[in-house]
Structure 1
Amino acid sequence: MAYTIREIAEQLGARAEGDLNLEIDCAAEPSDAGPSALALAMDPKYGEGLAKGRARAAILWEGADWRALGLEAAIYVPRARYAMSGLTRMLDAGPEIAPGIHSTAVIDESASVGAGAAIGPFVVIGPRAKIGANARIASHVSIAEDAVIGDDALLMQGVRIGARVVIGARFIAQPGAVLGADGLSFVTPEKSAVESVRENMGQVSKAAKQSWTRIHSLGSVRIGDDVEIGANAAIDRGTIRDTRIGSGCKIDNLVHLAHNVVVGEDCLFAAQVGIAGSTTVGNRVVLGGQCGVADNIFIGDDVIGGGSTKFLSNVPSGRAMMGYPAIKMEANIEQYKGLRRLPRLFAQVAELQKAVSKLGQKD
């Protein structure tokens, strides 16, 4: 679908100059932009790329001269990355899911489907499940018994929603996400080696040979509004109480939240984050890729974890953390600088040892 420069500027709340009736149908990097594309040159370092492409219009940095850059129109935005959110929302047609219910979908007669919902091929919806109005469900999705999906949800191909999972409005799940699988809860008849290590912090005692026995997951998963879950992410059901994710959270691909985890509102977890069982995470927490969080601890509000940080103990609100184990980011950076200096320090110590040895020989 094509939009005029005027329409785009109004949607972004931005200032536009030049031919405001010029139509564009896509966005592109400056050097790849064709005549119908809006070039994204929101920083002076991208200006040279405009000469390599054929764009007639662009989003430019404040102060740029669109005429000198050979353009017919330009849009100026105060915050480039935020403008990207509005522009991509306009240009994204979304997945093609035909309206209505596909003939191959299997929907239990006790389930309810809201008005305007679109149900794709080979979708299975279990007993007493409730699908909200205008929900869009792509092919091969399964929704188990008593699950509740809010209005305007989007479930992509192969998503699995377990029994009694409750999800709020405007939920998005990317392909292969699994919500409501059993958690890793197993116990042995007698004290296990793992329990002994927890008590004595490292000494592996001689434990009896015994098998693991399942603790069944009786809880489920409860998710707030405006939550997004990435591809192949897995959120386990609670053992007794529900695993909970607050409104506004954005969770990337391959993230795992274990049983009984509680996550506050507006958190952001990058790929391969893993949070162990019964841990509580506050509001607006940001965890970089491959962060790990131990079980039964608390992460306070507004904590930021750098990539690959490993949280092994409680963290107060408002701290930026990094490293393994997690420490304050500035302390971790100083440690890293110290490690880089070690080879030079070793060489200096060796030279000092030689000098002292020579002095000893003279005496």
Structure 2
Amino acid sequence: MALTVGKLAEALQARAWGDLTLPVSGAAEPGATGSGVIALAMAPKYAANLRKGDMAILAEGMDPADYDLSAAIFAPRPRLVMAGLTRAFDPGPDLAPGIHPTAIIHESATIGEGAAIGPFVTIGRDVRIGAKARIAEHVSIGRGTVIGAEALILPGARIAHGVTAGDRLIVQPGAIIGSDGFSFVTPEESGIEEMRRNLGQVDEAKQQHWTRIHSLGGVEIGNDVEVGANSTIDRGTIRATRIGSGTKLDNLVHVGHNVVVGEDCLLCGQVGIAGSSQLGDRVVLGGQCGVSDNIQIGSDVIAGGSTKIFSRVPAGRVILGNPAVKMETQLEIQKAMRRLPRLAEKLGQLQETVTRLLDKG
């Protein structure tokens, strides 16, 4: 797909300079551009490799004449411009319109107008697929599931029965939505229950047989949600597990049964949220964050990477550490820990001094 500099600037809602009729067919780092490729130099430190005659995307305040450019687009917010630019040039998966002859679709399923169904897709009874949805090869969708318009479900994804998803859902390869929750019970009080009741003390070891609690709830997903590669969202036990509109899950994220995630949240790689926890809106969990079961996290909370959350977090708090505390508290803890060797050395010296004084006395 080729655009002109002027049309690209218009699409990005950005100001342009120079020859706006030049065609643009792609983007690259400065020094790696070719014919029709625009350079990404959105800070002066990236502009050193620009070549005479290049087209470039610059930050506001940079002068294209300083770099002998033929054309430029100015980015008031570079990463936002990157979002628009990459969207403009992303061709997406190679999916032909219509239904591939190897797809298996139940006669009761409804496929929306303009949808593309790839090879070896399996669609179950009473499934509804929205208009212009694109479903790549080897995807399976279970009975009664509803997928909204303009969805993009990539190879090997598994969407189980009883899932409801809004418009523009993106499911990356290998993701699983609607797997059973990890719910088991013992006939008598289990060692885990005894440990919690006695704050870590277990009287004696006991035989335990785990009995499955089946997952009767589904999964409800809002609009504009993205589920990363090999991520999993468990179905609820009785009520549905819910993911709010605009929320994005990175790769290898696990959302347990009955969890409620608010709108516009970011869950980064290897985040795990245990059953029945609730997240407010715009929560950001950094990579490898863990959330214990039945925890409430307020809106606008930000948790740094590897934070472990064992108790309620009020809205708007920035937290870090294991166990999670306010970020400024955790930084003070880290400073104190770095001082421990010196403090231990000083304590040893004080002990020696006190011992000598006692011996003299």
Q: Shared fold by TM > 0.5?
A: yes
SS in 2 for 1:74: strand
2:6 aligned residue:
6
**Maintained 8 Å contact 1:30/1:55:** no
Deviation at 1:209, TM superposition (A): 1.1
Equivalent residue, structure 1, for 2:263: 265
Matched AA of 2:257:
H
Mapping of residues 57-76 of structure 1, within 5 Å: 57-76=55-74
**Unaligned residue ranges in structure 1 (runs of 5+):** none
Matched, 1:343 2:341: yes
**Aligned residue among 203, 211, 214 for 2:212:** 214
Which residue in 2 is equivalent to 1:26? 26
Q: C-alpha displacement at 1:357, in angstroms?
A: 4.7
Normalising by structure 1, we get a TM-score of 0.96
**1:2 Cα shift?**
1.5
Deviations 1:175-230 (A, max 9, x none): 01100000001111111101101111101232531311111111110101110000
Residue type matched to 1:288 in 2?
A: G
Partners of 2:294 and 2:106 in 1: CA distance:
39
Cα deviation per residue 1:58-111 (whole Å; 9 max; x = unaligned)? 111222221221211111111111111111111111111110000000000011
Work out the CA distance in 2 between the residues paired with 1:170 and 1:133. 10
User: What CA distance in whole angstroms lies between the structure 2 residues aligned with 1:355 and 1:46?
Assistant: 59
Q: Deviations over 1:233-265 (max 9, x none)?
A: 000000011001111100110100010001111
- Please tell me whether residue 50 in structure 1 is matched to residue 50 in structure 2: yes
Matched, 1:91 2:89: yes
Deviation at residue 348 of structure 1 after TM alignment: 2.7
Q: Cα RMSD over matched residues? A: 1.4
Whole-angstrom CA distance in 2 between matches of 1:313 and 1:85: 36
Match of 1:299 among 287, 297, 300: 297
Identity %: 60
Matches within 5 A, 1:1-363: 1-51=1-51, 56-357=54-355
Q: Deviations over 1:268-308 (max 9, x none)?
A: 10000000001111111000000000001100011000000
Task: Tell me which amino acid in the other structure corresponds to 2:312.
Answer: N
Instruction: Return the letter of the residue paired with 1:120.
Output: G
The alpha carbon displacement at 1:13 in A equals: 1.2
Count how many residue pairs are aligned between Structure 1 and Structure 2. 361
Secondary structure at 1:116 match in 2: coil
The letter for the 1-side match of 2:30 is P
Q: Which amino acid in 2 is paired with 1:37?
A: V
Alignment TM-score, normalising by the size of structure 2? 0.97
Q: Secondary structure at the match of 2:31?
A: helix
